[in-house]
Amino acid sequence: MAAAGEEAVAAVLAELEKLGGELSEPQRAACDAPMVRRYLAARGGSVQKAARMLLATLKWREEFGFGTLSIAEFSGTASLQSGRMYVAGNDPSGKSVLVTRKRADAFQPSESASYLRYLAFTLETCARAMQGGQEKWVWLMDMRGYSRANSPPLGVSMATLRILADHFPERLHRCFFIDAPSIFSFLFNALWPFVDPVTRGKIVFINSKEHSKHVDAVAAAGSDSTQREEALRLAADPADPDAFCNYIRWYCAPYDEAAFRTLLQRVGWQ
């Protein structure tokens, strides 16, 4: 199995050079074996399709200016300061935990480009922050306060889906939509046909009221770490590690910009 995997990876890289010419050193560094295997998985094991998909990502990175992303670009911006989207840490298995909280202010058309750059920056942070050989993340999307005004335009939402599907394939383990209001169904129904069936199976809708007992217990513990850990222990479901109750720790934790900046530096951002 391992040998076949190595052969398939080599075949994709060879096909990639046929399609796009000799790879640069940064491109070669990006196309490590785990990355190639993810693209193979995303394309059902087809060497040709995986190579074409990977080439599209390499071109997108160049056009997008992926290599110029940095902490400095977002310092002082609402994206980094408010905790709208951030990596909160790792679950016990080593998967990165990505948290998104709906913003209160209206989404301005002029910020679409910066939003997508911060999205790519955060997704790459998620990938770099994996531990224990993990390659996937868990996404907590807190939808409280969602409205038409503070939601990105449909075009930005579609661009978000394309970035996730085309350039970060096989990264999502589970996505929890928490307290999504009924108005969100209009956007979700518009996007649903563009979400592949495998990804659909990873999406779970959560009503936080069903977990209020444990959420309230964590909140009541405040800064008492012993009580907090006991509340989290009682909330957890060891029999189902993918259950939302095992992620209440990160759902309840407030955003800590200093801690996020420390993580950004730890995973290599400048």
Q: Do 93 and 42 fall within a single domain?
A: no
Tokens representing 136 are 């996937």
> Does residue 23 sit in the same domain as residue 125?
no
State whether 59 and 98 are in the same domain: no
Residues 22 and 88 in one domain: no
Residue-level pLDDT at 2: 43
Structure token pair of residue 236: 């957890």
For residue range 43-100, what is the model confidence (pLDDT) as tens digits?
A: 999 999 999 999 999 999 999 999 999 999 999 888 899 999 999 999 999 999 999 9
Query: Cβ distance 126 to 96 under 8 Å?
Result: yes
48 to 9, 201, 223: CA distances (angstroms): 11, 26, 54
Residues 6+ apart with CB under 8 A from 93: 132, 134, 241
CA 21 and chain centroid, separation: 31
- The answer to whether residues 41 and 156 belong to one domain is no
For position 121, what pLDDT does the model report? 97
CA distance 206 to 200: 15
From 34, 63, 92, the end of a domain falls on 63
Q: Are residues 97 and 57 in the same domain?
A: no
Q: For the whole model, what pTM was predicted?
A: 0.92
Residue 174 to residue 199: CA distance in whole angstroms: 9
**CATH number of the domain within which 132 lies:** 3.40.525.10
Domain count, the chain: 2
- Between CA 97 and CA 94 the distance in angstroms is 9
| In a shared domain, residues 5 and 44 | yes
Examine the domain organization and report whether 87 and 55 are in the same domain.
no
Tell whether 22 and 145 lie within a shared domain.
no
Its domain, for residue 12, covers 1-63
Among residues 37, 63, 89, the one where a domain terminates is 63
Mark whether 76 and 141 lie in a shared domain.
yes
pLDDT digits over 101-133, tens only?
A: 987 777 888 889 999 999 999 999 999 999 999
End-of-domain residue from the set 63, 79, 96 = 63
Compute CA distances 116 → 35, 111, 156, 164, whole Å.
22, 9, 8, 11
Same domain, 46 and 120: no
For the record, the structure tokens of 84 come out as 């709208």
CA–CA distance, 234 with 109 (Å, rounded to integer): 44
In this structure, are 20 and 91 located in the same domain?
Answer: no
| Whole-angstrom Cα Rg for the chain | 20
